[in-house]
Amino acid sequence: MAAGGLARRLPQRWYERRLALALWPLLPLSLLFGVLVGVRRWLYRCGLLRSHRLPVPVIVVGNLTVGGSGKTPLVLWLVAKLRARGWRPAIVSRGYGGRGDRGGGRVLPVVATSDCTVVGDEPLLLARRSGVPVFVGRDRVAAARALLAAHPECNVIVADDGLQHYRLQRSVELAVFDQRGVGNGWLLPAGPLREPLPRLSSVLAVVWNGRPEQALAGAARKLPQFAMRLRGQRFIAASGEPRSCDAEALRGRRLHALAGIGDPSRFFRQLTALGLDFEAHPFPDHHRYRAGDLAFAEGAVVLMTEKDAVKCAALVTGEAWVLPVEAVIDTPPGGRALFETILEKLHGRTPA
């Protein structure tokens, strides 16, 4: 397989249960990557690389794998819960995919009218949905400090991603996985893991966006585990007009569904569960859409995720609808609710 073709197919190959033959030449690089990851973490733990504590607690929502697994809905759920309990949360993010992410130490505030090509798609969605301050920057310490300087009323920071950003000390870590789990179980670039599975020993809880995956279940068996469902029933107009409809209004029409998220099939399964027949158009996570990507037949109706809508709603010339979702976290029978577990940790916090 040519190098370019392998790069395009890596995500699919990573999530095969056995190591694909085409990935074997990458094993030495994965072993080297594992050594570098271990050394870097050790340097932070022994203080040779400096980490920074903020004057407010920090909750990191992240994962061990590359790509989206459902962190954004969980961040929105967490922010809403904190606000309901009287906290004044704010969000920091790297701003992956935006030009600001490539600007070194550049820190940017994100508002509903920000340009997603500058701040990133997920931070813009968070700013529009959360109702709290959002700042982005590759250096999350700098982003958080700038946020607190601009919004001194905030008393807790939620970091969207950043499990591996050890410069920022944290009070709580949540690891999110979807039903793809850890794939073949190898570190980058032969597999999807950014850190080895034993890294889970320091997180507060594992949140499953979908069915738990067996290879990971063993590594996380001593941790509190919670199932997350993404609930969405009603579509809103991608144009921003105050219009909505239910799935019944879309049945029998010529539908094209597009998704550029970590696992596009997750969105397509939601639409199928709503009783819709459609042509699926999966794209890579954080895909930068062009008009040609949405050049469907005249009279077709486009369905998309909120994350895609912040990037491509303006490219749609015809009818288009967005399916907003919200996270629902189930409490295990006889167990403690996730938010109560987080609050307990915050009240007795010892930054990691």
Convert the pLDDT of each residue in 215-239 to its tens digit: 565 667 788 989 999 999 999 999 8
The closest alpha carbon to 77, from 339, 350, 352, belongs to 339
The C-alpha atoms of residue 284 and residue 168 are separated, in whole angstroms, by 29
Helix/strand/coil for 161: coil
Amino acid 334: pLDDT: 84
* Pair of tokens at residue 213: 């995956």
Torsion angle of C-alpha atoms 122, 127, 129, 131, degrees rounded to 10: 150
Q: What is the pLDDT of residue 236?
A: 97
Phi, psi at residue 264, to the nearest 5°? -55, -30
The model's pLDDT over 260-276, given as tens digits with 9 standing for 90+, comes to 998 899 999 999 999 99
Distance CA 332, CA 101 (A): 38
Q: Does domain 58-229+330-347 have CATH number 2.40.50.140?
A: no
Q: State the Cα–Cα distance between residues 67 and 10, nearest whole angstrom.
A: 12
Burial class (CB in 10 A: 0-12, 13-18, 19+), 95: buried
What is the arithmetic mean of pLDDT over 146-151?
Answer: 98
Q: Please name the helix (run of DSSP H) or strand (run of DSSP E) that holds residue 308, with its range, or none.
A: helix 306-312
Q: Please tell me the predicted confidence (pLDDT) of residue 172.
A: 97
Is the per-residue pLDDT at 25 higher than 90? yes
Domain ranges within the chain, ordered by starting residue: 58-229+330-347, 233-324
d(CA 32, CA 44): 19
Banded model confidence at residue 102, pLDDT cuts 50, 70, 90: low
DSSP state of 129: H
**What is the model's pLDDT at position 2?**
46
What average pLDDT does this structure show over 193-214?
Answer: 88
Confidence of residue 170 (pLDDT cuts 50, 70, 90): very high
> Rounded mean pLDDT of 331-349?
89
Question: Of the spans 5-19, 96-110, 133-147, which averages the highest pLDDT?
Answer: 133-147
Average pLDDT over residues 200-217: 82
**Quick one: pLDDT at residue 316?**
85
Q: How confident is the prediction for the chain on average, in pLDDT?
A: 91
Alpha-carbon span 42 to 202, nearest angstrom: 14
pLDDT at residue 99 in the model: 66
- Predicted TM-score (pTM) of the model is 0.93
Query: Among residues of the chain, what percentage have pLDDT more than 70?
Result: 92
What integer pLDDT is reported at residue 203 of this predicted model?
95
